[in-house]
Amino acid sequence: MGWFPRRPEVHLLPAILSLALLFAILYFVDVNGGGGALVLVPGKNQSAGTTRKLFGIVGERMGVESCSKDDVVVYQGATAPLPNGIPTYTVQVLNVCSTGCAVADIHVSCGWFSSARLINPRVFRRLGYDDCLVNDGAVLRPGQSLSFQYANTYPYPLYVSSVSCT
């Protein structure tokens, strides 16, 4: 009409799919703790093993070879539910100390943690409200990991509350 060429029609389907993908990614990042890597060990209920770090950078410590609770990280993610429909979650506890420190007596803030699936108490057990013990208090060496699965309606927020340096 007149002097201006006709604009091509914009197809909405690609735009809608792009937005849906963006929201799905943002939801995944939000659910998994603000962008932290989701670590799952499929097919294994409870194990201890060694994991490799991509970058050996955990903090900016120079000269001081001490450890802190920041040297132990806890990742968890949803896994296949139990046959009765109760959701299950895989938890992995890793010693990511970049200075070669070993940690023991790892305590995790865990609320009233409970599980419909039996967990080996030497791997993870609740001592009291908001106090769970990892690896029966034994040493977790640098790069070593420990994993287990639990079943509950909702995931428990699990955070390292204290460790002992060995």
The ranges assigned to domains in the chain are: 47-59+66-165
**Alpha carbons within 13 A on the beta-carbon side of 20:** 6
Say yes or no to pLDDT of 151 above 50. Answer: yes
pLDDT of residue 7: 55
Query: Higher confidence at residue 73 or residue 58?
Result: 73
C-alpha pair distances (Å), 121 with each of 49, 82, 114, 116, 125: 17, 20, 12, 14, 5
On whether the 47-59+66-165 domain is CATH 2.60.40, my answer is yes
Say yes or no to pLDDT of 65 above 80. Answer: no
pLDDT of residue 31: 42
pLDDT of residue 46: 39
Does the pTM exceed 0.85? no
pLDDT of residue 43: 35
Instruction: Give the separation between CA 116 and CA 73, rounded to whole angstroms.
Output: 24
Amino acid letter for position 115: S
Say yes or no to pLDDT of 52 above 60. Answer: no
pLDDT of residue 2: 58
pLDDT of residue 111: 96
